Chain A
């Protein structure tokens, strides 16, 4: 037996596929919309209709621990709990990340975007990932949490070891070992940090978690750790990945870029359309709590089910002319932030950060391209553009 993953889902872990996954999604949907090429031979759902069905039915498609192993010892809160326990925590967390609340940060976030742009605007070129896409959302996140900015590299090391451990894609055992070791370090870091915060409380989210009550009960130390663990992964990776995907797309599609520069009011729908087309978080995993049937395929209790959000978001059955990137798309019910009760908690913050970044970048650097002779490098699973060389010096064009 070959250890190489079969054609189908697992080739999404190939960086070349990650660079342009949409045609592969199309092929998966037409050849076998519900396949068994997933994790541990589990099912893979690729149609919009099936994916949204699974997202909306956590009592069948559970996201409890076991669905995905990312180095944690206890369920991540709230992601790896199902309603009604999950609801208890979302009641506490949702108001902290509401649209109104996050837009209060607008001027601070805009200033940060400009400070970062200041550092490379006169150079005529930059490596966008390290010079903007990483520091921008990470700085916002660390300030919000109250975590020290000087520990950013430590946090980035943690989340990269969990999300994309630096081993051969087929060496699952070694990958798991790295994840478990890193998990221990994450718990230890936050244990320490909570200890310090309990002595010196501040006006930040972590202090808030230590005093807040849900349904009249305070959070336990372990519950706070389980929230922090998840926030570290969600807060440090996804907006970075989205920014890289967007800017890489626009650098390679100058007509679309020009439209954004000429009509900044297009940025709101354009962010949604690029979220749809790029869907940086390609897939999420669930575990079956009971037998069920999807698209005529019988699935059994205990099976792992992978929901390919990226495929759902490029499904012609849901989106008019799905393969066309239409920055003014009128109906766009994309699932880039998932759906159902686990809808991305940070979606309002992410949207604000993305919109402000697109506005400021195109205001200050209206013309840019991929540096001649080079090409962007994508990492799979969560599609961070780990290397994105941009050129905007003399002779770049219009």
Chain B
């Protein structure tokens, strides 16, 4: 599984790094989403999905595979 962020839409709500801190980090500059893993380890997939579902801007997208 992979996740993608559209940084043109992300405004730093920070739900992703709050709900899935092992998958996402916050950028130093403005608190935007930073993805820690190119490929999400299986044990983190559920938190990654949860973050995707909770992004108020719908800036995150998951790619199952």
Chain B hits for A331, CB < 8 A: 53-54
Q: A99-B14, A99-B18, A347-B13 are in contact. Are A339 and B56 (CB under 8 A)?
A: yes
Q: Does chain A have a CB within 8 A of B26?
A: yes
Contacts of A56 in B (CB 8 A): 9, 57
Q: Does B41 contact A (CB under 8 A)?
A: no
Contact across chains for B56 and A333 when beta carbons are under 8 A apart: yes
Give complex CA distance A289, B31 in Å: 29
Interface string of B3-30 (1 = CB under 8 A from A): 0000001011110011000000010111
Contact across chains for A95 and B58 when beta carbons are under 8 A apart:
no
B50 CB-CB contact with A under 8 Å: yes
Q: Are B54 and A333 in contact (CB under 8 A)?
A: yes
Max chain A C-beta neighbours (<10 A), residue from B13, B14, B55, B57: B13
Contact, CB under 8 Å: A347 / B14: yes
Assess whether A94 is in contact with B12, with CB atoms less than 8 Å apart.
yes
* CB atoms of B54 and A98 under 8 A apart: no
A253 close to B (CB within 8 Å): no
Tell me, rounded to whole Å, the shortest Cβ–Cβ distance linking B35 to chain A. Answer: 16
Using a CB–CB distance below 8 Å, which chain A residues touch chain B?
52, 56, 90-91, 94-95, 98-100, 268, 330-335, 337, 339-341, 343, 347-348, 351
Q: Report how many A-B pairs have Cβ atoms within 8 Å.
A: 54
Does B13 contact A337, Cβ atoms closer than 8 Å? yes
Give the shortest distance, in Å, between A85 (CB) and chain B (any CB).
16
Nearest residue, chain A, Cβ from B52: A331
> Is there contact, CB below 8 Å, between A90 and B30?
yes
Q: What is the CA–CA distance of A99 and B19 in the complex, to the nearest angstrom?
A: 13
B31 and A348 contact, CB distance less than 8 A: yes
Complex contacts, B9 vs chain A, CB 8 Å: 56
Q: Report Cα–Cα, A340/B11, bound state, in Å.
A: 6
How many B residues face the partner with a CB closer than 8 A? 19
What residues of chain A lie closer than 8 Å to B29, measured between beta carbons?
91, 94-95
- A98 — which chain B residues lie within 8 A by C-beta? 12, 26, 30-31
Show 28 A/B contacts (Cβ-Cβ < 8 Å), sorted by A. Answer: A52-B56, A56-B9, A56-B57, A91-B30, A95-B31, A98-B30, A99-B17, A99-B31, A268-B18, A330-B50, A330-B53, A331-B53, A331-B54, A332-B54, A333-B54, A333-B58, A334-B56, A335-B56, A337-B13, A339-B13, A339-B57, A340-B11, A340-B57, A343-B11, A343-B13, A347-B13, A347-B14, A348-B14
How far in angstroms is the closest Cβ of chain A from B25? 9
Q: Which residues of B contact A343 (CB under 8 A)?
A: 11-13
| Cβ distance B46 to chain A, nearest Cβ, rounded Å | 11
Which residues on the A side are within 8 Å of B11 (C-beta)? 339-341, 343
Q: How far is the CA of A256 from the CA of B36 in the complex (A)?
A: 36
On chain B, the residues within 8 Å of A332 by CB distance are 54
Residues A95 and B53 in contact, CB atoms below 8 Å apart: no
Complex: A268 Cα to B14 Cα, angstroms: 14
Determine if B55 and A100 form an interchain contact, defined as CB atoms under 8 angstroms apart: no
Cβ contact within 8 Å between A94 and B56: no
Tell me the nearest residue of chain B to A331, going by C-beta. Answer: B53
B12 to chain A, nearest CB (A): 6
CB neighbours of B14 from chain A (8 A): 99, 347-348
Which residues of the other chain, B, contact A333 by a CB distance below 8 angstroms? 53-56, 58
For B26-65 the 0/1 string (1 means CB < 8 A from A) is 1011110000000000000000001001111110000000
Q: How far is the CB of B65 from chain A (nearest CB, A)?
A: 22
- Tell me the minimal C-beta distance from A334 to chain B in angstroms: 7
* Contact partners of A334 in chain B: CB under 8 A: 56
Whole-angstrom distance from the CB of B2 to the nearest CB of chain A? 20
The listed residue (A52, A94, A335, A337) touching B31 by CB distance below 8 A is: A94
Residue in chain A with minimal CB distance to B19? A268
Q: Which residue of B lies closest to A340 (CB)?
A: B11
> Which of these, A100, A340, A347, contacts B26 with CB under 8 Å?
A100
Q: Which of B26, B54, B55, B58 contacts A99 (CB 8 A)?
A: B26
B residues near A99, Cβ cutoff 8 Å: 14, 17-18, 26, 31
